[in-house]
Amino acid sequence: MSALALSVEAQQFGPARVITESATMEMLAPSVEVPGTVVSRNDSRLASELEAKLVWIAEVGTEIREGDTVARLEDFTFKIREMEAKSLVAREQANVTFLESELQRLEQLSERNLSAKSQYDKTVSDLAVAKSNHEIAQAQLGYAQISMHVTQIRAPFDGVVTERLRNLGERLNVADEVVRLVDPKSLEVIARAPLRTVNFIRKGDVLPIGNEYRQSKAAIRTIVPFGNPQSHMFEVRIDADPELWTVGESVRVTMPTAEAKEVLAVPRDALVLRRDGTSVFKVTEDATVKEVKVIVGMGAGDLIEVFGDLVAGDDVVIRGAEGLSDGMAIDVMRAAAN
């Protein structure tokens, strides 16, 4: 289109309204997107420690505090065992008390040579056995009390009941899973990344994570320093904001595959793809645009490296470039700050 035609068009319709941003020098690195899953760091299937009947279980969706009961087992048998153990402790204590008194009496008689040495020695032996039996009885009482305690299955952390794995009235064996408890406030992303990225990430690095619904950035919590020889992948765990993410969501994690370097970058939206190549429209001092042919390099997020007649600080069109041509007058609007 000739300059005269552009002038006539501008007079008829006015300058084209566009949005611009500046080209900047940025530290960019080539990257790869890897799949990840949001999980809870506290996700447990709580099991029975006894053989007993299940008499109560919390409903799915119940919010539980640490130490709260999530299920109860029938405890009649264990109450009787506790009573029996308490009686045994009392009996053995009474025997120890009697023998201590008897030994004291024999010691007094021995001072006056009124007791046999054999009787004294036997009482000492009986007292040692009685004390041992008392300790055994106390241990049995401890076991009985523990059994009574674990008839109530308690939450080891704050969480939500997400699944009932057994039903009321069922007879449980030791280690039978009863309920699944998940903490929705302690989240992380588990991602498996190719081994070629392992040298370019560190604990604490902040990486972009997102899916089709939302985007965010989060820090690497830990890197599992062992690669799988079959898949050539290793595991990375990344903190996740519980206000943004939900257990079970699939995400994509962007990881660098080389060291970052400083490059001239523009927003991806500035690129205009045409048959004759890729270009951007640079804003000139007289409020017109100049089409600049560019070669693109590595990209990271919304930015992409470009090579061409541009320098840091040049304003380029990121909205409204599709209908522009070299020399066209524009009405510039700056992009809103993030």
What pLDDT is recorded for position 145? 95
What is this structure's pTM?
0.70
CB 151 within 8 A of CB 78: yes
| pLDDT, tens digit only, all 338 positions of the chain | 444 444 444 445 568 889 999 999 998 888 888 999 999 999 999 999 999 999 999 999 999 999 999 999 999 999 999 999 999 999 999 999 999 998 888 888 776 665 677 788 888 899 999 999 999 999 999 999 999 999 999 999 999 999 999 999 999 999 999 999 999 999 999 999 888 888 889 999 999 999 999 999 999 999 987 777 777 888 999 999 999 999 999 999 999 888 888 999 999 999 999 888 999 999 998 889 999 999 998 887 788 999 999 999 999 999 988 888 888 998 887 665 54
Name the residue with tokens 């904001």.
241
Q: Whole-angstrom Cα distance, residue 117 to residue 30?
A: 93
What pLDDT is recorded for position 326? 86
- What is the radius of gyration, based on Cα positions, of the chain? 38
What pLDDT is recorded for position 114? 58
DSSP string, 211-265: -SS-EEEEEEEEE----BTTTTEEEEEEEE-TTT--TT-EEEEEEESS--EEEEE
DSSP string, 50-108: SSEEEEEEPPTT-EE-TT-EEEEE--HHHHHHHHHHHHHHHHHHHHHHHHHHHHHHHHH
Q: How far is CA 282 from CA 55, 215, 255, in A?
A: 74, 29, 31
Q: How far is CA 301 from CA 40, 190, 269, 277, 294, in A?
A: 27, 20, 12, 22, 19
What pLDDT is recorded for position 7? 45
Q: Whole-angstrom Cα distance, residue 338 to residue 84?
A: 71
CB 298 within 8 A of CB 304: yes
β-strands 177-182, 171-172 pairing: unpaired
What pLDDT is recorded for position 111? 66
CB 286 within 8 A of CB 332: no
- Tokens linked to 9: 């068009």
What pLDDT is recorded for position 113? 67
Domains, the chain, ordered by start: 3-29+261-334 (2.40.420.20), 31-41+186-256 (2.40.30.170), 44-74+151-185 (2.40.50.100), 76-149 (1.10.287.470)
60-74 in b/e form (b: 16+ CB < 10 A) is eeeebeeeeebbbbb
Q: Whole-angstrom Cα distance, residue 160 to residue 157?
A: 10
DSSP 329: B
β-strands 215-223, 233-240 pairing: antiparallel
